């Protein structure tokens, strides 16, 4: 039988490339990539593990968004505001950087043995510190090179960049490459991600990481404005059929898709203020509050700011 040709950029979701429920990058599972750092001091390994989990949650949200967008192309998905937000805050943020750096170091580890001191905890701590150093020194045009003892650090940087590239591109184009089976992933919740990513279940109590804590940490990465102040909602101008069960589990009613496609992305109920719903309700009239809600859903930034400032001014007077 002749295989059907796929339109360029359309999400491929065939069967897994590897046995077992493990997410893979560059032929290495996430469990294998973390194993090296699990032997570091607790504070180092705990931070790395948390970032692994946050990155994987973001990855599966991107996959779910991509699936909900079918039959649109990967290029179309890449332009969705909610998808771009995940890429910006998670994949290109600290979680994605930590995971990518750990993969790079793990892949280079066999060639670094001569330069590493001993086999005790100091060596693993040094590797954990190297993760941060790689993140701080990463460039935009890092090239992959052949592995060698002399160039193992450059090799690690190249592999780090390769893994980052897979994180950025595969969720919308080829999830099978990451060993993700698309047949049921759209129904995943956070628990399903933890069970299907390949990370050892014993790690979660070891590092005191529950689903509730994961949700809190994930929300903190999104529900703030550029000035570091809290915001109440995430509002994305994109079709209402775009969805992610995991994203809804984390943000609940704090995520709104306005369906005003093609207009500027609006993030937050009050972009410049930590004001919350109760303050709005106490300081706006019924009609003003109704107008405020309409402005949120329509993406009217100017009106949202105007009514927010009105509520703030009345709060100061009371």
| Same domain as 114, residue 31 | yes
Which pLDDT score is estimated for 267? 38
Residues 75 and 187 in one domain: yes
Q: Are residues 87 and 211 in the same domain?
A: yes
Q: Are residues 203 and 118 in the same domain?
A: yes
**Residue 4: CA count within 13 A, CB half-sphere:** 5
pLDDT computed for residue 83 by the predictor: 95
How many structural domains is the chain composed of?
Answer: 2
Reported as a single tens digit per residue, the pLDDT across 94-104 is: 999 999 999 99
Q: How confident is the model at residue 3 (pLDDT cuts 50, 70, 90)?
A: very low
Query: Do 148 and 251 fall within a single domain?
Result: no
Q: Report the pLDDT value the prediction gives residue 80, as an integer from 0 to 100.
A: 93
Where does the pLDDT of residue 19 fall: very low under 50, low under 70, confident under 90, or very high at 90 and above?
low
118 φ, ψ to 5°?
70, -170
CB contact set of 271 (below 8 Å; sequence gap of 6+): 225, 231, 301, 304, 305
**Residue 121 — very low, low, confident or very high, per pLDDT cuts 50/70/90?**
confident
Please report whether residue 127 resides in a domain. yes
Name the residue among 177, 15, 37 with its Cα closest to residue 98: 37
* Domain boundary residue, one of 202, 222, 242: 222
- Regarding whether 201 and 69 lie in a shared domain, the answer is yes
Same domain for 55 and 185?
yes
- Domain membership of residue 256 (yes or no) is yes
- Give the percent of the chain with pLDDT over 90: 52
Q: Which of 190-194, 269-273, 288-292 has the highest mean pLDDT?
A: 190-194
| 102/147 same-domain check | yes
| In a domain? residue 96 | yes
Do 238 and 259 lie in a common domain? Answer: yes
Q: How far, in Å, CA of 297 to CA of 9, rounded?
A: 31
Task: Report if residue 48 sits inside a domain.
Answer: yes
**Measuring CA to CA, which residue among 246, 226, 225 is closest to residue 234?**
225
Among left, alpha and beta (phi > 0; psi -120 to 50; other), residue 208 is: left
Q: Assess whether 217 and 281 both reside in one domain.
A: no
| Structural domain of 310 | 234-317
Task: Centre a 10 Å sphere on the Cβ of residue 81 and count the other Cβ atoms it contains.
Answer: 20
Residue 10 lies in a domain: no
- pLDDT tens track for 33-77: 999 999 999 999 999 999 999 999 999 999 999 999 998 888 999
CB atoms within 10 A of CB 276: 13
Q: Are residues 199 and 258 in the same domain?
A: no
Q: Is residue 121 part of a domain?
A: yes
Reported as a single tens digit per residue, the pLDDT across 223-236 is: 876 666 777 888 88
Neighbours of 57 (CB within 10 A): 25
261 versus 132: the higher-pLDDT residue is 132
């Amino acid at each position: 039988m002749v295989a059907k040709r796929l339109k360029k950029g359309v999400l491929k979701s065939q069967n897994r490339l590897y046995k077992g429920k493990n997410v893979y990058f560059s032929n290495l599972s996430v469990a294998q990539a973390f194993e090296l750092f699990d032997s570091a001091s607790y504070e180092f390994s705990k931070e790395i593990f948390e970032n692994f989990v946050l990155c994987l949650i973001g990855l599966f949200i991107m996959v779910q968004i991509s699936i909900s967008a079918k039959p649109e192309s990967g290029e179309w998905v890449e332009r969705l505001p909610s998808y771009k937000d995940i890429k910006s805050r998670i994949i290109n943020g600290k979680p994605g950087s930590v995971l990518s750096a750990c993969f790079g170091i793990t892949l280079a580890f066999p060639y670094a043995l001569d330069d590493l001191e001993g086999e005790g905890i100091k060596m693993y701590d040094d590797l954990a510190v190297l993760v941060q150093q790689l993140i701080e020194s990463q460039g935009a045009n890092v090239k992959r090179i052949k592995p060698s003892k002399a160039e193992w650090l450059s090799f690690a940087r190249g592999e780090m960049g390769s893994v980052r590239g897979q994180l950025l591109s595969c969720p919308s184009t080829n999830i099978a490459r990451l060993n993700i089976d698309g047949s049921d992933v759209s129904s995943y919740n956070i628990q399903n991600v933890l069970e299907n990513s390949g990370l050892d279940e014993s790690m979660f109590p070891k590092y005191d990481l529950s689903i509730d804590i994961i949700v809190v940490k994930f929300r903190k990465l999104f529900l703030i404005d550029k000035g570091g102040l809290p915001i109440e909602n995430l509002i994305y101008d994109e079709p209402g059929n775009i969805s992610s069960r995991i994203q809804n589990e984390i943000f609940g009613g704090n995520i709104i898709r306005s369906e005003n496609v093609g207009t500027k992305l609006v993030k937050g109920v009050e972009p410049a203020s930590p004001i919350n719903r109760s303050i709005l309700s106490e300081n706006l009239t019924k009609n003003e509050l109704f107008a405020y809600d309409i402005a949120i859903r329509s993406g009217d930034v100017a009106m949202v700011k105007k009514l927010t400032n009105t509520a703030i001014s009345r709060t100061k007077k009371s």
